Structure 1
Amino acid sequence: MSVRSIAIAFAVTTMTSLSGSQAAYQGFAGLGAAAEGFSVPQPGRLFGFPADHGPHPDFRIEWWYLTANLEAPDGTQYGAQWTLFRSALAPREAKGWSSPQVWMGHAAVTTSEDHFVAERISRGGVGQAGVVAEPFSAWIDDWQMRGLAAPGADQMADLRLTATAEDFGYELRLSATGPLVPQGDNGYSVKSAKGQASYYYSQPFYAVTGSLSLPTGNVEVTGKAWLDREWSSQPLAEDQTGWDWFSLHLDTGEKLMGFRLRDEGEGFTSATWIAADGRPEPLPAAALKIAPVRTAKVAGRQIPVSWNVQIPSRGFDVTTQPLNDQSWMSTSIPYWEGPIAFEGSVSGKGYLEMTGY
């Protein structure tokens, strides 16, 4: 996420109630709070797999974040989201109820008419939620992201994803057709001019098969998915109020990750152009240009749901449209997250996340 996701704010709130102390709410939803006692990202660190697929309890926040653009045999479009967040009371891990780790899961399915959302919350250390690097497994209650790769192989190359809720559910198989991609400077992703940063890598090359369970019945689907892995201790500056984040699958085979962190000025942008073979090209500062095209009233507020996204140096100029304007995550800390399509200099599909509106 890129900086991902505002739901971490709920974990910050939970940490406050569990610890009996008052949280310092700076930036958006406390994500600009001080990182005293926690590790902070430093440039020059290289990822080590499979260990980095697992948790990093000495950092304050972390997520395993998957979005999928899906299609039924009749051409009907859908979106699916599965996210597990970890947030720490203290920079350590422990067994049982003494664990300082807080876990939260979000799941969603989007159609052109509906946006189904569910949330799960857990304390760490008791087995209700967690992540194991190898063989890879991430879970909260019965929601699972489970690795199917053989020992010694890339643990993110083959995944089974499940979630169930009152009104929806899904079971998806994700098979990587390209490599893991470091974001930013070999995985060191800067978030502000003041130097806040995260460690960030993606797997944007999943081919998806599976089924959705909806009130209208089960639907077989295929499509593409994007996984983001990120951890940090202070990803926002105190004057940053939220972000607009795009993950785009171009019909030409390339991918684009781009985000803008909003402040009182023009904001801070970052983007990575990903070649069809997986080679990342971090783009220069301010290379990404985004501007709202259309707003909609969502959950009682005006939110920009259609955007013009440009990278002038590459001749990239597209306009995005959401599958459903009302893709509102009505979770403990609400935000907008949903599938989009885009047209212009190239066409394709992707996902948009917006926080702080």
Structure 2
Amino acid sequence: MNGNRVTAAIVGLGLGLGWVTLPAMLAAQGYAGLGTEAAGFAVPQRGVALKFPRDHGPHPDYRIEWWYLTANLTGEDGRDYGVQWTLFRSALHPEGADGERVTTSWSDPQIWMGHAGLTTPDHHYYAERLARGGIGQADVRTAPFEAYIDDWNMRAGGASTGDGLDQLSLRASGTAFSYQLSLRAEGPLVLQGESGYSVKSASGQASYYYSQPHYQILGVLQLPDGPIKVTGQGWLDREWSSQPLAEDQTGWDWFSLRFDSGDKLMGFQLRGHNDFTSGTWIMADGQATALEPGALQATPIATSTVEGREIPTGWHLQLPEQELDIRVHALNPNAWMDTSFPYWEGPVSVNGSHSGKGYLEMTGYGETSDSR
């Protein structure tokens, strides 16, 4: 997945007639406007079968979409690292008066945003790219798969087993950092929720959501002190919707955890008048079981002051049906993405009834006093 108020960025995306503000609709309600009405856009429906490789590509009838890769890595120096690569697509309005797709001009209503992060125990590096659809600067293709914005890309490589995402290369760069990674999936795609239909609130908001949580990774990080060879594991999330949050929901806490046993947990808490939790338990062989709403209990146990905000960087998670009782702690509490829509994203360690590593994303934790 990816507050109550969001800074609207002024993005230089010329239309020939002037400039466009990264849409005010995205800042209207909830985190990035995800609780606003979806008038004119398609909305997810129960019982729709996801199809691959088709659904690896864009869904322009829906307002919001992302391709989201996180990785827990270990360097040849013995230190832990985390990497994030994300491509977001957001539509300014439904495509075309009669629903036709505009793909080759500045009239294309799609806005693309790329985020890259690299976290060490001591530093957090990040970068952002912004693009307008229709001019070749950013897009996602399925045959073969490639997601890109400028020179950042996630693309298929090697012999495919048929789902299109089983072997990937990944590249991004920013000030003082870059990374180039190779990914190989050692398990199946996982459909989150009800066969890919993921409910996000008691009132029924939902998204289509699937993951590839079984990547083995090797590659190289470039940092100010030089290159570091790394190995580790990765997790790709794919999600699209037009109104995935309820109006009162102001942000979320999202966990992707990989346990030493081989089992995995995707769990999220959406914060509102009544918090909503859900997720998926994934066995080592890839078999997935959706969690009932409220089955996962997520309680903050430690906070850190990050960019003037109090962020819960330590958590107690309980899932009685799996005898899970764990503590989750950030590798680096300062993993703040101060991008157009700011949020916290970083690698975590796990101990307690289960041990392991994973990633934590948190949105909607207020603004600094000087930005209110």
For the criterion TM > 0.5, the same-fold answer is yes
**Is 1:355 aligned with 2:363?**
yes
Q: Which moved more, 1:143-152 or 1:216-225?
A: 143-152
Instruction: Determine if contact 1:7/1:332 at 8 Å carries over to the other structure.
Output: no
- Partner letter of residue 341 of structure 1? S
SS at match of 1:97: coil
Judged with a 3 Å threshold, the aligned counterparts in structure 2 of structure 1 residues 349 and 238 are, in CA distance, closer, same or farther, namely: same
Q: How many Å separate the matches in 2 of 1:13 and 1:165?
A: 18
Per-residue CA deviation, residues 128-154 of structure 1 (Å, 9 max, x unaligned), is: 000001100000000000111447722
How far is 1:307 from its partner? 0.3
What is the match of residue 292 of structure 1?
300
- Partner letter of residue 137 of structure 1? E
User: Which structure 2 segments of 5+ residues have no match?
Assistant: 14-18, 96-100, 366-372
Per-residue CA deviation, residues 38-62 of structure 1 (Å, 9 max, x unaligned), is: 0000000111111100000000000
Q: How many Å separate the matches in 1 of 2:51 and 2:264?
A: 23
What is the match of residue 78 of structure 2?
75
SS at match of 1:29: helix
Judged with a 3 Å threshold, the aligned counterparts in structure 2 of structure 1 residues 192 and 64 are, in CA distance, closer, same or farther, namely: same
* Residues 80-119 of structure 1: pairs in structure 2 closer than 5 A: 80-92=83-95, 93-94=101-102, 95-119=104-128
SS at match of 1:98: coil
* Residues 128-207 of structure 1: pairs in structure 2 closer than 5 A: 128-150=137-159, 153-207=162-216
Judged with a 3 Å threshold, the aligned counterparts in structure 2 of structure 1 residues 9 and 83 are, in CA distance, closer, same or farther, namely: farther
Per-residue CA deviation, residues 265-303 of structure 1 (Å, 9 max, x unaligned), is: 3x0011100011111100112110010111011001111
What is the match of residue 50 of structure 1?
53
Q: How many Å separate the matches in 2 of 1:11 and 1:198?
A: 25
1:314 to 308, 314, 322: 322
- Partner letter of residue 58 of structure 1? D
* Residues 248-267 of structure 1: pairs in structure 2 closer than 5 A: 248-265=257-274, 267=275
Instruction: Determine if contact 2:31/2:250 at 8 Å carries over to the other structure.
Output: yes
- Partner letter of residue 115 of structure 1? H
Q: How many Å separate the matches in 2 of 1:117 and 1:243?
A: 21
- Partner letter of residue 167 of structure 1? A
User: Which structure 1 segments of 5+ residues have no match?
Assistant: none
What is the match of residue 37 of structure 2?
34
What is the match of residue 283 of structure 1?
291
- Partner letter of residue 235 of structure 2? W
How far is 1:22 from its partner? 5.4
Q: How many Å separate the matches in 2 of 1:7 and 1:179?
A: 38
How far is 1:212 from its partner? 0.1
**RMSD, aligned CA:** 2.2
Q: How many Å separate the matches in 1 of 2:22 and 2:326?
A: 48
Judged with a 3 Å threshold, the aligned counterparts in structure 2 of structure 1 residues 228 and 70 are, in CA distance, closer, same or farther, namely: same
What is the match of residue 327 of structure 1?
335
How far is 1:333 from its partner? 1.3
What is the match of residue 120 of structure 1?
129
**Is 1:346 aligned with 2:348?**
no
Q: How many Å separate the matches in 2 of 1:115 and 1:79?
A: 9
Instruction: Determine if contact 1:204/1:226 at 8 Å carries over to the other structure.
Output: yes
Residue correspondences, number: 353
Q: How many Å separate the matches in 1 of 2:78 and 2:160?
A: 37
Instruction: Determine if contact 2:87/2:112 at 8 Å carries over to the other structure.
Output: yes
Q: How many Å separate the matches in 1 of 2:307 and 2:261?
A: 35
2:344 to 336, 339, 343: 336
Instruction: Determine if contact 2:75/2:231 at 8 Å carries over to the other structure.
Output: yes
Judged with a 3 Å threshold, the aligned counterparts in structure 2 of structure 1 residues 219 and 264 are, in CA distance, closer, same or farther, namely: same
**Is 1:270 aligned with 2:278?**
yes
Judged with a 3 Å threshold, the aligned counterparts in structure 2 of structure 1 residues 248 and 6 are, in CA distance, closer, same or farther, namely: farther
How far is 1:98 from its partner? 1.2
- Partner letter of residue 20 of structure 2? L
1:209 to 205, 218, 228: 218
Q: How many Å separate the matches in 1 of 2:282 and 2:266?
A: 8
Q: How many Å separate the matches in 1 of 2:287 and 2:116?
A: 30
How far is 1:9 from its partner? 8.0
Q: How many Å separate the matches in 1 of 2:184 and 2:74?
A: 16
Instruction: Determine if contact 2:10/2:21 at 8 Å carries over to the other structure.
Output: no
